[in-house]
Amino acid sequence: MDKNVNQASCNIYKPCNGDGDYQASCNVYETCNDDEDYQEACKVSSARLSAAGMSHNGATGTGKTGNSPGQSQTRTCSIVKTLPVMTILLNISLLGTVIFLVVAVSDLRVSVDRLDQETALNLSDLKLSVIQLDKKTVMSTAYLSNISAWIQQIWGKSEQGGIAEETPVPTDSRTAPCPAGFKKYRKVCYKVFDMEKPFMQASATCLSVGGGTLAMPRDADINAFLFSLIKAADCYKNYWFGLHDLVQEGKWEWVDGTDLGTGNYSAWREGQPDQWGDQDCAMYRDDRWVDGACHWKHPFICQVIP
Protein backbone atom coordinates (compact mmCIF):
# COMPACT_ATOMS: atom_id res chain seq x y z
CA MET A 1 0.00 0.00 0.00
CA ASP A 2 1.21 3.51 -0.73
CA LYS A 3 2.86 5.25 2.21
CA ASN A 4 0.90 8.43 1.74
CA VAL A 5 -2.40 6.54 2.03
CA ASN A 6 -1.20 4.88 5.20
CA GLN A 7 -0.25 8.26 6.63
CA ALA A 8 -3.74 9.64 5.92
CA SER A 9 -5.28 6.70 7.68
CA CYS A 10 -3.11 7.31 10.68
CA ASN A 11 -4.16 10.96 10.80
CA ILE A 12 -7.86 9.98 10.82
CA TYR A 13 -7.49 7.70 13.85
CA LYS A 14 -5.38 10.01 15.98
CA PRO A 15 -8.38 11.63 17.80
CA CYS A 16 -9.85 8.25 18.83
CA ASN A 17 -10.39 7.89 22.63
CA GLY A 18 -12.01 4.48 23.25
CA ASP A 19 -11.03 0.87 23.15
CA GLY A 20 -12.98 0.24 20.02
CA ASP A 21 -11.27 3.10 18.28
CA TYR A 22 -7.91 1.83 19.33
CA GLN A 23 -8.67 -1.66 18.12
CA ALA A 24 -10.03 -0.30 14.88
CA SER A 25 -6.83 1.65 14.33
CA CYS A 26 -4.78 -1.43 14.86
CA ASN A 27 -6.99 -3.41 12.54
CA VAL A 28 -6.68 -0.81 9.81
CA TYR A 29 -2.95 -0.67 10.12
CA GLU A 30 -2.55 -4.40 10.07
CA THR A 31 -2.99 -4.16 6.32
CA CYS A 32 -0.33 -1.54 6.01
CA ASN A 33 2.92 -2.58 4.36
CA ASP A 34 4.88 -0.02 6.35
CA ASP A 35 5.60 -1.38 9.83
CA GLU A 36 6.49 2.04 11.16
CA ASP A 37 3.07 3.43 10.31
CA TYR A 38 1.33 0.53 12.06
CA GLN A 39 3.40 0.93 15.19
CA GLU A 40 2.84 4.70 15.27
CA ALA A 41 -0.94 4.28 15.07
CA CYS A 42 -0.93 1.71 17.83
CA LYS A 43 1.20 3.92 20.06
CA VAL A 44 -1.12 6.88 19.59
CA SER A 45 -4.21 4.82 20.27
CA SER A 46 -2.59 3.14 23.26
CA ALA A 47 -1.65 6.47 24.79
CA ARG A 48 -5.14 7.86 24.43
CA LEU A 49 -6.64 4.68 25.89
CA SER A 50 -4.37 4.92 28.95
CA ALA A 51 -5.40 8.56 29.53
CA ALA A 52 -9.08 7.65 29.31
CA GLY A 53 -8.62 4.83 31.79
CA MET A 54 -6.88 7.09 34.30
CA SER A 55 -9.69 9.61 34.07
CA HIS A 56 -12.29 6.90 34.69
CA ASN A 57 -10.39 5.44 37.65
CA GLY A 58 -9.88 8.86 39.20
CA ALA A 59 -13.57 9.62 39.14
CA THR A 60 -14.43 6.26 40.65
CA GLY A 61 -11.91 6.66 43.41
CA THR A 62 -13.39 9.98 44.61
CA GLY A 63 -16.96 8.64 44.64
CA LYS A 64 -18.17 10.99 41.88
CA THR A 65 -19.83 9.94 38.65
CA GLY A 66 -19.18 11.96 35.54
CA ASN A 67 -22.07 13.10 33.30
CA SER A 68 -21.70 12.83 29.57
CA PRO A 69 -22.73 15.78 27.36
CA GLY A 70 -25.62 13.68 26.00
CA GLN A 71 -27.14 13.21 29.43
CA SER A 72 -26.96 16.95 30.20
CA GLN A 73 -28.62 17.80 26.91
CA THR A 74 -31.44 15.29 27.63
CA ARG A 75 -32.13 16.84 31.04
CA THR A 76 -32.10 20.35 29.59
CA CYS A 77 -34.57 19.36 26.88
CA SER A 78 -36.91 17.79 29.49
CA ILE A 79 -36.87 20.96 31.60
CA VAL A 80 -37.53 23.16 28.56
CA LYS A 81 -40.49 21.01 27.54
CA THR A 82 -41.94 21.03 31.10
CA LEU A 83 -41.83 24.83 31.54
CA PRO A 84 -44.70 25.70 29.13
CA VAL A 85 -46.96 23.11 30.76
CA MET A 86 -46.22 24.48 34.23
CA THR A 87 -46.82 28.03 32.96
CA ILE A 88 -50.23 27.05 31.55
CA LEU A 89 -51.24 25.33 34.80
CA LEU A 90 -50.15 28.35 36.83
CA ASN A 91 -52.12 30.73 34.60
CA ILE A 92 -55.23 28.53 34.89
CA SER A 93 -54.90 28.53 38.70
CA LEU A 94 -54.52 32.31 38.78
CA LEU A 95 -57.52 32.76 36.46
CA GLY A 96 -59.66 30.52 38.69
CA THR A 97 -58.62 32.51 41.76
CA VAL A 98 -59.50 35.81 40.06
CA ILE A 99 -62.92 34.51 38.98
CA PHE A 100 -63.64 33.30 42.52
CA LEU A 101 -62.70 36.67 43.99
CA VAL A 102 -64.84 38.54 41.44
CA VAL A 103 -67.89 36.38 42.22
CA ALA A 104 -67.34 36.76 45.97
CA VAL A 105 -67.05 40.55 45.71
CA SER A 106 -70.18 40.71 43.52
CA ASP A 107 -72.18 38.67 46.03
CA LEU A 108 -70.95 40.88 48.86
CA ARG A 109 -71.91 44.02 46.94
CA VAL A 110 -75.41 42.65 46.25
CA SER A 111 -75.84 41.79 49.93
CA VAL A 112 -74.75 45.29 50.97
CA ASP A 113 -77.16 46.89 48.44
CA ARG A 114 -80.05 44.77 49.75
CA LEU A 115 -79.17 45.70 53.33
CA ASP A 116 -79.10 49.39 52.39
CA GLN A 117 -82.52 49.11 50.70
CA GLU A 118 -84.03 47.33 53.69
CA THR A 119 -82.55 49.92 56.04
CA ALA A 120 -83.94 52.77 53.91
CA LEU A 121 -87.40 51.15 53.89
CA ASN A 122 -87.31 50.64 57.65
CA LEU A 123 -86.28 54.26 58.17
CA SER A 124 -89.07 55.44 55.86
CA ASP A 125 -91.64 53.38 57.77
CA LEU A 126 -90.31 54.72 61.07
CA LYS A 127 -90.43 58.31 59.81
CA LEU A 128 -93.99 57.83 58.57
CA SER A 129 -95.03 56.40 61.93
CA VAL A 130 -93.47 59.34 63.77
CA ILE A 131 -95.23 61.83 61.45
CA GLN A 132 -98.58 60.12 62.00
CA LEU A 133 -97.97 60.07 65.74
CA ASP A 134 -97.15 63.79 65.70
CA LYS A 135 -100.34 64.49 63.76
CA LYS A 136 -102.42 62.52 66.23
CA THR A 137 -100.74 64.27 69.16
CA VAL A 138 -101.35 67.72 67.68
CA MET A 139 -104.97 66.92 66.92
CA SER A 140 -105.50 65.44 70.37
CA THR A 141 -104.06 68.60 71.92
CA ALA A 142 -106.35 70.70 69.75
CA TYR A 143 -109.33 68.59 70.80
CA LEU A 144 -108.51 69.04 74.49
CA SER A 145 -108.01 72.77 74.06
CA ASN A 146 -111.28 73.15 72.17
CA ILE A 147 -113.19 71.08 74.72
CA SER A 148 -111.67 73.09 77.53
CA ALA A 149 -112.66 76.35 75.86
CA TRP A 150 -116.21 75.13 75.22
CA ILE A 151 -116.58 73.95 78.82
CA GLN A 152 -115.41 77.33 80.08
CA GLN A 153 -117.84 79.13 77.79
CA ILE A 154 -120.76 76.90 78.78
CA TRP A 155 -119.84 77.10 82.47
CA GLY A 156 -119.60 80.87 82.31
CA LYS A 157 -122.96 81.15 80.60
CA SER A 158 -124.54 78.79 83.13
CA GLU A 159 -123.32 80.92 86.00
CA GLN A 160 -124.72 84.06 84.32
CA GLY A 161 -127.98 82.34 83.46
CA GLY A 162 -127.26 83.00 79.82
CA ILE A 163 -128.43 79.59 78.52
CA ALA A 164 -132.14 79.25 77.80
CA GLU A 165 -133.29 75.69 77.34
CA GLU A 166 -135.43 74.92 74.27
CA THR A 167 -135.34 78.62 73.28
CA PRO A 168 -134.71 79.26 69.55
CA VAL A 169 -132.32 82.09 68.75
CA PRO A 170 -132.85 84.17 65.56
CA THR A 171 -130.09 84.21 62.99
CA ASP A 172 -129.51 87.94 63.43
CA SER A 173 -129.67 87.84 67.22
CA ARG A 174 -127.78 90.67 68.86
CA THR A 175 -127.90 89.24 72.39
CA ALA A 176 -124.44 87.61 72.03
CA PRO A 177 -122.25 89.57 69.64
CA CYS A 178 -119.60 87.84 67.55
CA PRO A 179 -115.88 88.78 67.54
CA ALA A 180 -114.89 91.46 65.05
CA GLY A 181 -115.25 90.34 61.44
CA PHE A 182 -117.38 87.24 62.28
CA LYS A 183 -120.91 86.67 61.04
CA LYS A 184 -123.46 84.76 63.09
CA TYR A 185 -125.60 81.91 61.87
CA ARG A 186 -127.59 79.74 64.31
CA LYS A 187 -125.83 80.96 67.44
CA VAL A 188 -122.40 80.32 65.90
CA CYS A 189 -120.09 82.97 64.49
CA TYR A 190 -118.09 82.30 61.28
CA LYS A 191 -115.31 84.11 59.49
CA VAL A 192 -113.21 83.52 56.36
CA PHE A 193 -109.47 84.13 56.85
CA ASP A 194 -107.58 85.07 53.67
CA MET A 195 -104.16 84.17 55.07
CA GLU A 196 -102.90 80.83 53.74
CA LYS A 197 -101.73 78.26 56.29
CA PRO A 198 -101.43 74.48 56.67
CA PHE A 199 -104.37 72.72 58.28
CA MET A 200 -102.79 72.49 61.76
CA GLN A 201 -101.73 76.13 61.87
CA ALA A 202 -105.13 77.22 60.61
CA SER A 203 -106.75 75.25 63.43
CA ALA A 204 -104.40 76.91 65.94
CA THR A 205 -105.30 80.35 64.58
CA CYS A 206 -109.02 79.63 65.08
CA LEU A 207 -108.30 78.50 68.63
CA SER A 208 -106.47 81.76 69.35
CA VAL A 209 -109.57 83.75 68.28
CA GLY A 210 -111.97 83.35 71.16
CA GLY A 211 -111.31 79.62 71.58
CA GLY A 212 -112.75 78.77 68.19
CA THR A 213 -112.21 75.91 65.78
CA LEU A 214 -112.22 75.38 62.05
CA ALA A 215 -115.80 75.56 60.74
CA MET A 216 -117.91 72.37 60.89
CA PRO A 217 -120.74 72.39 58.31
CA ARG A 218 -122.84 69.57 59.79
CA ASP A 219 -125.87 70.11 57.53
CA ALA A 220 -126.79 71.56 54.13
CA ASP A 221 -127.90 74.94 55.52
CA ILE A 222 -124.63 75.61 57.32
CA ASN A 223 -122.74 74.39 54.26
CA ALA A 224 -124.65 76.86 52.05
CA PHE A 225 -123.99 79.70 54.51
CA LEU A 226 -120.27 78.99 54.55
CA PHE A 227 -120.13 78.90 50.76
CA SER A 228 -121.82 82.33 50.68
CA LEU A 229 -118.92 83.64 52.79
CA ILE A 230 -116.45 82.01 50.39
CA LYS A 231 -118.07 83.65 47.35
CA ALA A 232 -117.88 87.02 49.07
CA ALA A 233 -114.14 86.48 49.63
CA ASP A 234 -112.71 84.56 46.63
CA CYS A 235 -114.54 81.52 45.28
CA TYR A 236 -111.57 80.48 43.12
CA LYS A 237 -109.53 79.38 46.13
CA ASN A 238 -109.71 76.28 48.31
CA TYR A 239 -110.58 76.75 52.01
CA TRP A 240 -109.82 74.49 54.95
CA PHE A 241 -112.66 73.54 57.27
CA GLY A 242 -112.76 71.29 60.33
CA LEU A 243 -112.85 67.73 58.89
CA HIS A 244 -110.02 65.16 58.69
CA ASP A 245 -109.06 61.47 58.93
CA LEU A 246 -105.71 61.92 60.66
CA VAL A 247 -106.56 59.66 63.60
CA GLN A 248 -107.63 56.69 61.47
CA GLU A 249 -107.25 56.48 57.71
CA GLY A 250 -110.63 56.52 56.00
CA LYS A 251 -112.53 57.46 59.16
CA TRP A 252 -113.45 61.11 58.73
CA GLU A 253 -114.31 63.10 61.82
CA TRP A 254 -114.83 66.70 62.89
CA VAL A 255 -112.20 68.60 64.83
CA ASP A 256 -114.32 68.25 68.00
CA GLY A 257 -113.86 64.46 67.82
CA THR A 258 -117.32 63.49 66.54
CA ASP A 259 -117.66 61.20 63.53
CA LEU A 260 -118.74 62.59 60.17
CA GLY A 261 -121.51 60.02 60.00
CA THR A 262 -123.11 61.25 63.21
CA GLY A 263 -125.25 63.81 61.39
CA ASN A 264 -125.67 61.71 58.23
CA TYR A 265 -124.61 64.65 56.08
CA SER A 266 -121.67 65.18 53.71
CA ALA A 267 -121.03 67.25 50.62
CA TRP A 268 -118.15 65.41 48.96
CA ARG A 269 -117.48 66.12 45.31
CA GLU A 270 -117.92 63.08 43.04
CA GLY A 271 -114.98 60.71 43.41
CA GLN A 272 -113.96 62.26 46.75
CA PRO A 273 -112.36 61.61 49.09
CA ASP A 274 -109.89 59.73 46.89
CA GLN A 275 -107.44 59.10 49.76
CA TRP A 276 -104.51 59.70 47.41
CA GLY A 277 -101.17 59.89 49.22
CA ASP A 278 -101.34 61.80 52.51
CA GLN A 279 -104.51 63.76 51.72
CA ASP A 280 -106.06 63.56 55.19
CA CYS A 281 -107.69 66.99 55.55
CA ALA A 282 -110.88 68.39 53.97
CA MET A 283 -111.28 71.67 52.14
CA TYR A 284 -113.87 73.52 50.07
CA ARG A 285 -113.60 73.57 46.30
CA ASP A 286 -116.53 75.66 45.17
CA ASP A 287 -119.44 74.46 47.32
CA ARG A 288 -118.23 70.84 47.50
CA TRP A 289 -115.72 69.03 49.68
CA VAL A 290 -112.42 67.47 48.56
CA ASP A 291 -109.52 65.98 50.47
CA GLY A 292 -106.05 67.51 50.42
CA ALA A 293 -102.62 67.14 51.99
CA CYS A 294 -102.66 68.77 55.43
CA HIS A 295 -99.36 70.54 54.83
CA TRP A 296 -100.74 72.46 51.87
CA LYS A 297 -101.35 76.15 52.55
CA HIS A 298 -104.88 77.48 51.98
CA PRO A 299 -107.22 80.11 53.40
CA PHE A 300 -109.63 78.77 56.03
CA ILE A 301 -112.94 79.32 57.81
CA CYS A 302 -113.21 79.58 61.61
CA GLN A 303 -116.20 79.29 63.88
CA VAL A 304 -116.65 80.62 67.40
CA ILE A 305 -119.49 80.10 69.85
CA PRO A 306 -120.11 83.57 71.33
Nearest residue to 292 via CA among 243, 254, 235:
243
45/22 Cα distance (integer angstroms): 5
Instruction: Give dist(CA 99, CA 110) in Å, integer.
Output: 17
pTM, 2 dp = 0.48
Q: If DSSP codes are grouped into helix, strand and coil, which group holds residue 212?
A: coil
Q: Are 276 and 293 in contact (CB under 8 A)?
A: no
pLDDT in tens, the chain (306 residues): 455 545 555 454 444 444 444 444 445 444 444 444 445 544 444 444 444 444 444 444 444 445 556 566 666 777 777 888 888 988 898 898 999 999 999 888 888 888 888 887 777 677 666 666 665 565 555 555 555 555 554 455 445 444 333 334 444 445 679 999 999 999 999 999 999 999 999 999 999 998 999 999 999 999 999 999 999 999 899 999 999 999 999 899 999 999 997 667 999 999 999 878 789 999 999 889 999 999 999 999 999 998
Domains and CATH numbers, the chain: 3-61 (no CATH), 127-306 (3.10.100.10)
What stretch of H or E contains 19? helix 19-30
Q: How far is CA 268 from CA 61, 80, 260, 265, in A?
A: 122, 93, 12, 10
Peptide bond into 273 cis (omega under 30): yes
DSSP 8-state class, residue 292: E
